[in-house]
Amino acid sequence: MTALRMKDTFRRGDAVTLTVEGRCVMAHRGETLAAALLAAGMARLRHSPRDFSPRGAYCFMGVCQECVVRVDGVLRQSCQVPVEDGLVVELKGSL
């Protein structure tokens, strides 16, 4: 579906549709939100609170807190959120 998803070596789940900043983004069940957003070309997920500098997922394992976004209005670490059909995502952190 995009350049980042490996083609032959993985079997993917059904396609799901997320709404990210009002735009439709396709992903596959089994993917984390952070990975799906990266694959959709959305590396920037939020801004840092003091300098407002752009940030994206760094560790993908729940440590760095850089991938926090709002999922259905709730702050979530996107690397820990499995994608689901209909998720509404705002690329905005806690502040």
Partner 1 sequence: MSAPSDLAIVGGGIHGATVALFCARAGMKTVLFERGSLCREASGVNAGTLTMQMTRVALIPYALQAHAMWASAREWLGHDVGVVVCDGLSLAFTPREVELLSFRAGKRREAGAPIELISEATARAVEPGLGEGVLLAGHCKVDGYANAYLTGQAYRAALIEAGVDLREETPVSGVDREEGGFAVQTAAGPVRARRLVLAGGVWLEEMAAWLGIDLPIKVLVNQLAVTERVAPVMRTVVGIASGLLSLKQYPHGTVVIGGGWQGKGDRQRGGAELVPESLIGNMRLACHAIPALRDARLARAWAGLEAETADALPAAGPIPGIPDAYVCGSVHSGYTSGPYIARLLAQRILGQEPTDPLFPIDRLLASPAASPSPSADAGRATDEQPQHV
Partner 2 sequence: MTPADLIVVGAGPAGAAAALAASEAGLQVVLLDEAFAPGGQIYRAPPQPLSVAPTARGADDAAGDALRAAVAASAVVWTGGARVWSISGAFRVDAVTAAGSESFTAPRLVAATGAHERLVPFPGWTTPGVIGLAAATILLKSQGMVPGRRTVVAGCGPLLAAVAAKIVAGGGEVAAVVDLAGPGDWLKALPRMASRPDLLRQGLGWALKLGAARVPVLFRHMVTGVSGGETCETVTVAPVDAEGRLTGGRSRMFDVDALAIGHGLVPGCEIPKLLRAAHRFAPEAGGWTPVRDAFGRCSVAGLYAVGDGAAVAGAEPARLSGCLAGLAAAQDAGRLPADVFAREAGAARAALDKALVFAGAINRLMRARPAMVEAIAAETVICRCEDVRRGEIEAAIAAGAREINQLKHFTRCGMGPCQGRMCGETAATLLARHVGSREAAGYWTGRPPLRPVPLADLLGQFDYADIPVPTPAPL
Residues found near partner 2 in the complex (CB under 8 A): 3-14, 28-32, 35, 38-39, 43-45, 48-51, 53-66, 68, 74-75, 80, 82, 94
Under DSSP, is residue 31 helix (H, G, I), strand (E, B) or coil?
coil
Contacting range for partner 1; rule: CB under 8 A; set: 18-26, 27-35, 39-47, 70-78: 70-78
- Least gap, CB of 35 to partner 2 (angstroms): 4
Q: Which is closer to partner 2, CB of 15 or CB of 88?
A: 15
Q: Which of 26, 17, 20, 32 is nearest to 70 (CA)?
A: 20
Contact status: 50 vs partner 1 (CB under 8 A): yes
Q: Which is closer to partner 1, CB of 24 or CB of 74?
A: 74
CA-to-CA separations, 66 to 35, 46, 56, 72, in angstroms, rounded = 13, 8, 6, 18
Tokens coding 38: 């990266």
* Chain Cα centroid distance, residue 15: 15
Contacted entry of partner 1, partner 2, none for residue 24, CB cut-off 5 to 8 Å set by kind: none
